[in-house]
Homo-oligomer: A and B are copies of this chain.
Amino acid sequence: MAGRMEIEGGAVDQLAGERSRAQFDVDAMKIVWAGSQHAFDVSDRISRLVASDPVFRKDDRTSLGRKDLFQNTLKKMTHALKRIVELRLTEEEGTKLRFFVDQPSYMDLHWGMFIPAIKGQGTEEQQEKWLPLAHKMQIIGCYAQTELGHGSNVQGLETTATFDPKMDEFIIHSPTLTSSKWWPGGLGKVSTHAVVYARLITGGQEHGIHGFIVQIRSLDDHSPLPGVTIGDIGTKFGSGAYNSMDNGVLRFSHVRIPRKQMLMRVCQVTREGNVLQSDVPKQLIYGTMVYVRQTIVSDASAALSKAVCIAVRYSAVRRQFGSQGGGPETQVIDYKTQQSRLFPLLASAYAFRFVGQWLKWLYTDVTQRLEAKDFSTLPEVHACTAGLKSLTTSVTADAIEECRKLCGGHGYLCSSGLPELFAVYVPACTYEGDNIVLLLQVARFLVKTVSQLGSGKQPVGTTAYMGRAEHLLQCTSSASSVEDWLKPSIILEAFEARAFRLAVACAQSISKFESPEAGFAEVSADLLEAAIAHCQLIVVSKFIEKLQEDIPGQGVKEQLRVLCYVYALHLLHKHLGDFLSTGCITPEQAALANEQLRSLYAQVRPNAVTLVDAFNYTDHFLGSALGRYDGNAYPALYAEAWKDPLNDSVVTDGYRDYIRPILKQTIFLSRL
């Protein structure tokens, strides 16, 4: 053991033994994880390209001050762009490249929010004018919605856009301190343009919130335009993390823009200042929303799988206690407590991956329906995507921190990769909809669905199960053995009954209050739980559906089946109060499920390291001394330490001024 570790920086694969124990074809699993052979090929090629490019090194990120980190980001982005052009990468490849460069920057907002906003909300004419400029990056844009005083409540935004019919212009203005735009990424130091959301006023009348394309910096010398005040809003969580991003503050003092720069696809202001709704249905914006949320769920599985990959590999490397007669100590991954904390997260990474893949399908489906002007599934799709965004991001944030703790003290070092992964990930719980606000929207939809059941309206999509109301209210689980908990029908029924009964119980509680609104507000803490139960059911059922597909590769489907049951049964254990209080299962059945769960952990154990190998992450992308593919965690940690700027000198800079005067007692002379 100690001997093996002597090989400093050695190339011996410390995890070879683990890999030889795997009971499935890891290459086949890689394709399943990637989604397709093509997706695998692209990711594999581009991730190696990034990893081998010295400009993209990440290991120095956390010791840089804010300014140096920001310079480093600008440099990387320019280099990324150069490489994309030089290598003539496709859009898919270019997006992947930025994904693997793995450093938040203005680029994310330019491509991910500014351009989609123009595509989604601009007229054809506007798209023709602005999109080519944006695609070539002759302008760089950001998405300026949130203000100091308003985020979740978009309708409360205070920035005004007042139409001046004389000049055929809008006057964009920040009337209060709280109306300052606050948070937009890329705004603080880079963007030349912004889509600004503001309160439309024409003829003295308010007409709600709309988007406007506003130039904010000169294209000549990059200085802010007259009437525009811009800055960065300061450091954020973590050392590197989102500090590479220039989230900004923006104030307008009566800034004029041409009328044509209001995004007018859905609503127009005429030359005379009249407000017209176009015949383009408002619902079209839902397409973009489904798309964005699908990428967030996919990012959740990426972040979670990174954390799990690090924690699984290090748990197989780390040995502590249990040495008998001088033999090697126990690998910490063999402790059942370690397994019960770690394996559900591994299963969740796969579960979120598959529900993310299903959301891609849902997006295609919704797009086709929207084109055919079929809006019937929209409310359900809205609730479903809101709920999945909330569920997967909340779980992932907590899971990254749990993975860090699973690595003991060393997880607290930035060289483990985990602190920065957490810091950069957690805002996903807040942006694109605060997770609690989103769950309340899901709950509202569920309560509505329950209330309409009597009226003969059939619930669709992910709420279809509610159509079996009678059965779900009275069924009792038939699980009577440990093996029964491996039956998809038994698992599904328990999750459906729990979700439905919680929703019905909420609806009943609400009806006891003077008004539905008052009731909804009063029981909203319970509503969150009902919404979560519904969302977990979706993930469980999509995982089960995945298992019904034809999945090639020796042993692959068997592994996925084990992970699926781990996912479901750990939830059953975690939320046991729900299942028992609604009478969906009995305490005896719960004990059987728990026993099955223990047995499933034992089945995951020999495959754990290979199951994270299937993510196919490069050591560069993982950025973790603990998570290295070859398991040489100790030499890597040791080598990383010496790179810290504090180690530039042997005797520390402050010695003469601050340490020597204490040791030599000269600072105390004043007392004598």
Q: Mark A412-437, 1 if CB is under 8 A from B, else 0.
A: 11110001001100110111001110
Contact A405–B429 (Cβ < 8 Å):
yes
Q: How far is the CB of A253 from the nearest CB of chain B, in Å?
A: 15
Contact A176:B65 (CB < 8 A) given known A139-B663, A658-B74: no
Contact A231–B66 (Cβ < 8 Å):
no
- Bound-state Cα–Cα, A2 to B320, Å: 58
- Bound-state Cα–Cα, A397 to B405, Å: 11
Q: How far is the CB of A600 from the nearest CB of chain B, in Å?
A: 12
Contact A638:B148 (CB < 8 A) given known A62-B235, A581-B576: yes
Q: Mark A134-151, 1 if CB is under 8 A from B, else 0.
A: 001111100000101111
Tell me the nearest residue of chain B to A152, going by C-beta: B320
A592 at the interface (CB under 8 A from B): no
Contact A659–B74 (Cβ < 8 Å):
yes
Contact B65–A156 (Cβ < 8 Å):
no
Contact B321–A153 (Cβ < 8 Å):
yes
Q: How far is the CB of A387 from the nearest CB of chain B, in Å?
A: 15
Chain B residue numbers with a CB within 8 Å of A423 are 237-238, 419, 423
A188 at the interface (CB under 8 A from B): yes
Chain A, range 139-185, C-beta contacts under 8 Å to B:
139-140, 146, 148-153, 156, 158, 175-180, 182-183
Contact A522:B598 (CB < 8 A) given known A337-B440, A645-B66, A659-B74: yes
Contact B587–A233 (Cβ < 8 Å):
no
Of the candidates B319, B414, B634, the one whose C-beta lies within 8 Å of that of A237 is B414
Contact A5–B176 (Cβ < 8 Å):
yes
Q: How far is the CB of A117 from the nearest CB of chain B, in Å?
A: 19
Contact A662–B65 (Cβ < 8 Å):
no
A464 at the interface (CB under 8 A from B): no
Q: Mark A118-143, 1 if CB is under 8 A from B, else 0.
A: 00000000000000000011111000
A335 at the interface (CB under 8 A from B): yes
Q: How far is the CB of A348 from the nearest CB of chain B, in Å?
A: 17
Tell me the nearest residue of chain B to A505, going by C-beta: B591
A630 at the interface (CB under 8 A from B): no
Of the candidates B78, B81, B188, B670, the one whose C-beta lies within 8 Å of that of A646 is B188
Contact A63–B414 (Cβ < 8 Å):
no
A488 at the interface (CB under 8 A from B): no
Contact A671:B86 (CB < 8 A) given known A152-B408, A180-B638, A641-B231: yes
Chain B residue numbers with a CB within 8 Å of A183 are 409
Contact A524:B336 (CB < 8 A) given known A232-B647, A414-B234, A662-B140: yes
Chain A, range 221-273, C-beta contacts under 8 Å to B:
221-224, 231-239, 242-243, 246, 249
Chain B residue numbers with a CB within 8 Å of A335 are 521, 524
Contact B409–A431 (Cβ < 8 Å):
yes
Contact B408–A430 (Cβ < 8 Å):
yes
Chain B residue numbers with a CB within 8 Å of A64 are 65
Stretch from A278-286, A302-310, A351-359, A648-656 contacting the other chain: A648-656
Contact A590–B581 (Cβ < 8 Å):
yes
Tell me the nearest residue of chain B to A175, going by C-beta: B2
A575 at the interface (CB under 8 A from B): yes
Tell me the nearest residue of chain B to A241, going by C-beta: B239
Chain multiplicity (copies): 2
Contact B652–A70 (Cβ < 8 Å):
yes
A21 at the interface (CB under 8 A from B): no
- Bound-state Cα–Cα, A201 to B190, Å: 63
Q: How far is the CB of A224 from the nearest CB of chain B, in Å?
A: 7
Tell me the nearest residue of chain B to A69, going by C-beta: B65
A580 at the interface (CB under 8 A from B): yes
Q: Mark A564-584, 1 if CB is under 8 A from B, else 0.
A: 000000000101111111110
- Bound-state Cα–Cα, A233 to B412, Å: 11
Tell me the nearest residue of chain B to A586, going by C-beta: B581
Contact A74:B643 (CB < 8 A) given known A152-B321, A175-B2: no
Contact A320:B153 (CB < 8 A) given known A5-B177, A430-B412, A671-B86: yes
- Bound-state Cα–Cα, A654 to B66, Å: 13
Q: Mark A48-78, 1 if CB is under 8 A from B, else 0.
A: 0000000000000011111110110011011
Contact B239–A243 (Cβ < 8 Å):
yes
Chain B residue numbers with a CB within 8 Å of A232 are 641, 644, 646-647
- Bound-state Cα–Cα, A230 to B268, Å: 69
Q: How far is the CB of A664 from the nearest CB of chain B, in Å?
A: 8
Contact B337–A524 (Cβ < 8 Å):
yes
A82 at the interface (CB under 8 A from B): yes
- Bound-state Cα–Cα, A62 to B233, Å: 13
Q: Which 10 A-B pairs have the closest CB atoms?
A: A576-B577, A65-B65, A237-B419, A340-B525, A74-B658, A74-B654, A189-B652, A232-B646, A580-B580, A581-B587
Q: A74-B657, A78-B658, A232-B647 are in contact. List 13 more A-B contacts (CB 8 A).
A: A5-B149, A63-B234, A67-B645, A70-B646, A78-B661, A85-B671, A140-B659, A149-B319, A156-B321, A190-B659, A335-B521, A335-B524, A339-B525
